[in-house]
Amino acid sequence: MVNNKEKNFISAVIYVYNKENEIEQTLTKINNILKKNFNKYEIICVNDASTDKSVEKVQNFAQKLDNEVLTVVNMSYYQGIELSVNAGVDLAIGDFVYEFDNVIDDYDDAKIIEVYNKCLEGYDIVSATSKSSVNKSSSIFYKIFNKFSDVKQEIHTETFRILSRRAINKVHSISKNIPYRKAIYANCGLKMYNLVYEPNIKVKRKFSKIAQDSRKETAMNSLILFTNIGYKFSITMSLIMIIATLCVLIYTVVIFAIGAPVRGWTTTMLFLSFGFFGLFTIMTMMMKYLEVIVSLVFKENKYIIESINKLN
């Protein structure tokens, strides 16, 4: 019997947080596709300190498997999708690694293989994006990020993606700490491709309060780290203050020339004008230095794992 399955080893990293109603269906779908198309693969579920029965559902699913490898990574406490998926990818040993950021899907099975086939065409990072509308806050974030960042590729909402081992090694050579995966991927210099698909169902993504707060923090950190919006704002404000200081200086000279200023007022105003001019000039230079330093040294964002359980 001829075996037409792919020989590459595949890892599938699935982010799990309070998805007890969807996780088994998603695991069944992903496992069936991988089993049908690949000789060897592993599934890694990263449990971001779920408070429902998500882990129990994963354990129930593992009991139905034959020889497939399913590992659960339990985060010590809620750490957000970025750090959690990083933990799963660091554990993955596949030649290609899938990243499923959400267990709720709106795509057919073929899309999972389509992104893999694109990788075989020479793309190191292939993402899948739904044509469904993006929520307003995400849309605003991506517009600001793409406008003020210097990444090679524009970023956008993605459903899932696949990375080659070369891409993972390249990203880790750039930085050991990855605060925002999509920005690092877009700036790693390797070939990328975005597969846009028509959703087969309408999915409304809901986020808990803690997840929303984590997303906001990631967005703010990413804008500071990967864009020059903070530097431009600081420069603009410094220039405004410099102009205002110059106006005060000119006003002081005019009053001294044509009026009768209070004794000592002119000297005081000239001193303050030159002082503030120098202060805001120094602040402008400091902001540039800080921008360079922040771009070279990422904020320390180590994830903390409670346990790793191989269920099969």
Beta strands in 39-173 (DSSP E): 41-47, 69-75, 96-100, 125-130, 160-164
Give the three-state DSSP class for 149. strand
Residues contacting 202, CB < 8 A, separation 6+? 106, 132
* 226 within 8 A of 151, measured Cβ to Cβ: yes
Residue 109 in contact with residue 33, Cβ under 8 Å? yes
pTM of the model: 0.79
Q: For the domain bounded by 10-227+301-310, which CATH number is listed?
A: 3.90.550.10
Tell me the domain boundaries of the chain. Answer: 10-227+301-310, 229-296
Query: What gap in Å lies between CA 69 and CA 241, rounded to an integer?
Result: 62
pLDDT tens sequence for the chain (312 residues) = 446 788 999 999 999 999 999 999 999 999 999 999 999 999 999 999 999 999 999 999 999 888 889 999 999 999 999 999 999 999 999 999 999 998 877 888 899 999 999 999 999 999 999 988 677 888 888 898 888 887 768 888 899 999 999 999 988 887 766 778 888 898 888 899 999 998 887 777 777 788 888 888 888 878 777 777 766 776 777 777 777 777 777 777 777 777 666 666 666 766 676 677 667 667 666 766 666 666 555 544 466 666 677 676
End-to-end CA distance of the chain: 27
- Residue 223 and residue 180 in contact, taking contact as beta carbons nearer than 8 Å: no
